[in-house]
């Protein structure tokens, strides 16, 4: 996979304390920044690197997703996110992420049939839900139930076998919408709906979420198309926090279903996937465009830990391309639903306008990210705020499992084990109890 380091392309570091120099190879990718291969740094210098949050650290080589944060570009296996959102379906994007090419008609049909055949969950899995309080956050339920899946597929999942890795990937992609819809049904006290094999992936999810056994449920095609597009926009995103969590968990050879549960846990955080829920709460708390100046002031105040949710990104220092598509979809869904004046959208658009012209946000390159508009669409589609991050997890499962599969198949992969800068107590003698002050 790796482009061989060009011998002339090296990086020499000088230790000014000793004058010792170390020369390190520079590795070049197909695009994007070169990397300095520091694998021999500690052996040659006795020093670790220090990069909390991994702002400048490449953890792996990957061929799945490329982000150019300065240009606001997002490619999945070379295809631009705008093209995929416009012309592909989510199952096609799943196939692309897993197989590095868009499926032809036969491959697409077979893949969709596999997903349909794996969409039901073991009937015993339904019992896990009743162990949760009715008001449990659906992300807590999702994390627990997906973790429980590892108990159903542990002995039958030899991760060294490529066929079993592919089956595990298909099971996760196929079952996550069913499990997510069941989490919603449990929270509202309605019966679980079984998946239907005559519906598309997005249609099935909306059917299992909003349908009931009491009457036929017709999925609104505009909403299922919007759902499919929202899934595409959230499918994968390079080595973000939850994907890195899945990779690190998987690097020990752990059960892939348990690794995805770890990814769900990480995504839940408000700084990550939990931001879509936090954005809507923030917009509701703002309540009116008149309060926006006060909110923007708070976001800029160093002494106030309030942050403008849905703004800023570790990599994008330009408009998140997903946010552009999401904003367009937001207008489409609201007009399809005949929602003329959505105050939250008015607040969001005014907030965006003010923030983007404010020196603080311009200087810090803080732009709306994927989470800024998604909540408004999801609320209009009938999802409760607590389900927003669940939907993110449904979509991101394909990214997590594709990255997990790539990690397992990477010949240089080894168990992840970062080091540290230790600033604690150095060795000291034990103090018997009688002598402790
Ligand atoms: C996702 O990594 C991914 O790819 C994630 C994701 C994916 O698809 O997987 O894209 C999904 O998680 C999107 C991000 C959703 N999170 C939010 O919207 C929460 C609000 N945003 C921030 O918490 C923040 O912007 C982060 C967490 C997204 C990024 O933070 P960084 O890269 O660690 O940047 P930082 O915290 O160092 O901020 C740099 C500066 C700081 O000011 P200074 O210390 O330099 O003076 O910008 C400020 C921050 O205070 N800042 C903000 C801000 N975000 C950063 N100030 C106000 N409001 C904000 N939203």
DSSP 8-class letter at 1:
-
Buried b / exposed e across 308-330, counting CB within 10 Å, b at 16+? Answer: bbbbbbebbbebbbbbbbbbebb
Confidence class for position 153, pLDDT limits 50, 70, 90 = confident
Confidence class for position 8, pLDDT limits 50, 70, 90 = low
Nearest CA to ligand 1 atom 2: 240
pLDDT score for 355: 85
pLDDT, tens digit (0-9, with 9 covering 90-100), for 289-333: 999 999 999 999 999 988 999 999 999 998 899 999 999 999 999
The whole-model pTM stands at: 0.94
What is the rounded average pLDDT of the residues 270-291?
A: 93
Indicate if 304 belongs to the active site.
Answer: no
The two tokens of residue 410 are 């990477």
- Helices (H) and strands (E) counted in the chain, each on its own, are 17, 6
Confidence class for position 1, pLDDT limits 50, 70, 90 = very low
Q: Among 272-281, 337-346, 397-406, name the most confident range.
A: 397-406
DSSP letter for each residue of 89-103: -HHHHHHHHHHSS--
User: Between 7 and 80, whose confidence is greater?
Assistant: 80
Q: Report which of 386, 405, 380 is spatially closest to residue 186, judged by C-alpha positions.
A: 386
Confidence class for position 356, pLDDT limits 50, 70, 90 = confident
pLDDT score for 320: 93
Indicate if 122 belongs to the active site.
Answer: no
DSSP 8-class letter at 68:
E
Confidence class for position 199, pLDDT limits 50, 70, 90 = very high
Asked whether the predicted pLDDT for residue 4 surpasses 70, the reply is: no
Confidence class for position 280, pLDDT limits 50, 70, 90 = very high
Choose the catalytic residue: 228, 236, 320, 371.
371
Confidence class for position 212, pLDDT limits 50, 70, 90 = very high
pLDDT, tens digit (0-9, with 9 covering 90-100), for 73-82: 999 999 999 9
388 Cα–ligand 1 center, Å = 19
Mutation test residue for ligand 1: of 312, 358, 395, the one with most atoms within 8 Å of CB: 312
Nearest CA to ligand 1 atom 12: 272
The two tokens of residue 435 are 């002598």
Beta bridge partners of 21: 14
- CA distances from residue 160 to 61, 401, 409, 410 in whole angstroms, order as listed: 20, 15, 9, 12
Asked whether the predicted pLDDT for residue 263 surpasses 70, the reply is: yes
Confidence class for position 251, pLDDT limits 50, 70, 90 = very high
Mutation test residue for ligand 1: of 313, 348, 372, 389, the one with most atoms within 8 Å of CB: 313
d(CA 421, CA 49): 9
pLDDT, tens digit (0-9, with 9 covering 90-100), for 328-351: 999 999 998 998 888 998 999 999
Nearest CA to ligand 1 atom 39: 364
What is the rounded average pLDDT of the residues 354-365?
A: 91
Within 6 A (CB) of ligand 1 lie: 53, 237, 240, 271-273, 275, 299, 307-315, 364, 366, 369-371
Confidence class for position 163, pLDDT limits 50, 70, 90 = very high
What is the rounded average pLDDT of the residues 147-172?
A: 91
Average pLDDT, the chain: 94
Asked whether the predicted pLDDT for residue 187 surpasses 70, the reply is: yes
Count of CB atoms within 10 A of residue 116's CB?
19
pLDDT, tens digit (0-9, with 9 covering 90-100), for 85-111: 999 999 999 999 999 999 999 999 999
pLDDT score for 154: 75
The minimum-distance atom of ligand 1 relative to the CA of 238 is 4
DSSP 8-class letter at 129:
G
d(CA 265, CA 341): 35
Q: Over 11-55, what HEC string results?
A: EEEECCCCCCEEEEEEECCCCCCCEECCCCHHHHHCCCCCCCCCC
pLDDT, tens digit (0-9, with 9 covering 90-100), for 106-137: 999 999 999 999 999 999 999 999 999 999 99
Phi-psi region of 11 (alpha: psi -120 to 50; beta: other; left: phi over 0): beta
What is the rounded average pLDDT of the residues 248-267?
A: 97
């Amino acid at each position: 996979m790796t482009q061989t380091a060009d011998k002339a392309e090296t990086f020499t570091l000088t230790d000014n304390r000793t004058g010792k120099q170390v020369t390190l190879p520079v590795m070049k990718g197909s695009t994007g920044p070169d990397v300095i291969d520091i694998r021999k740094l500690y052996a040659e210098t006795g020093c670790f690197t220090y990069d909390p949050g991994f702002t400048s650290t490449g953890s792996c080589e990957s061929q799945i997703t490329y982000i150019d944060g300065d240009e606001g570009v997002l490619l999945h296996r070379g295809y631009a996110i705008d093209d995929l959102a416009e012309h592909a379906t989510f199952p096609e994007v799943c196939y692309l992420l897993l197989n590095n090419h868009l499926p032809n008609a036969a491959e697409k049909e077979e893949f969709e049939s596999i997903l349909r055949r794996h969409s039901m969950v073991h009937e015993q899995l339904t019992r896990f839900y009743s162990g949760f309080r009715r008001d449990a956050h659906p992300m807590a339920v999702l994390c627990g139930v997906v973790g429980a899946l590892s108990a159903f597929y542990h002995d039958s999942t030899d991760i060294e076998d490529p066929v079993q890795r592919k089956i595990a990937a298909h099971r996760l992609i196929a079952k996550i919408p069913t499990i997510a819809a069941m989490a919603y049904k449990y929270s509202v006290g309605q019966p679980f709906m079984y998946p239907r094999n005559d519906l598309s992936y997005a249609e099935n999810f909306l059917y299992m979420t909003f349908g009931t056994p009491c009457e036929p449920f017709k999925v609104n095609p505009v909403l299922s198309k919007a759902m499919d597009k929202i899934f595409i926009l959230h499918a994968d995103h390079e080595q973000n926090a939850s994907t890195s969590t899945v990779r690190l968990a998987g690097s020990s050879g752990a059960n892939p279903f348990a690794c995805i549960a770890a990814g769900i846990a990480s995504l839940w955080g408000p700084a990550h996937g939990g931001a879509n829920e936090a954005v809507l709460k923030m917009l509701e708390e703002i309540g009116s465009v008149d309060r926006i100046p006060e909110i923007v002031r708070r976001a800029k105040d160093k002494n106030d830990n309030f942050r403008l949710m849905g703004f800023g990104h570790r990599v994008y220092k330009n408009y998140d391309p997903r946010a552009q598509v999401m904003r367009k979809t937001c207008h489409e869904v609201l007009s399809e639903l005949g929602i003329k004046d959505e105050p939250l959208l008015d607040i969001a658009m005014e907030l965006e306008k003010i923030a983007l012209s404010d020196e603080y946000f311009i200087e810090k390159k803080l732009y709306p990210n994927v989470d800024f508009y998604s909540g408004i669409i999801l609320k209009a589609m009938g999802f409760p705020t607590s389900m927003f991050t669940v939907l993110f997890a449904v979509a991101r499962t394909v990214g997590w499992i594709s990255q997990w599969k790539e990690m397992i198949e990477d010949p240089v992969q080894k168990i992840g084990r970062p080091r540290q800068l230790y600033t604690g107590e150095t060795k000291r003698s034990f103090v018997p109890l009688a002598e402790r002050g």
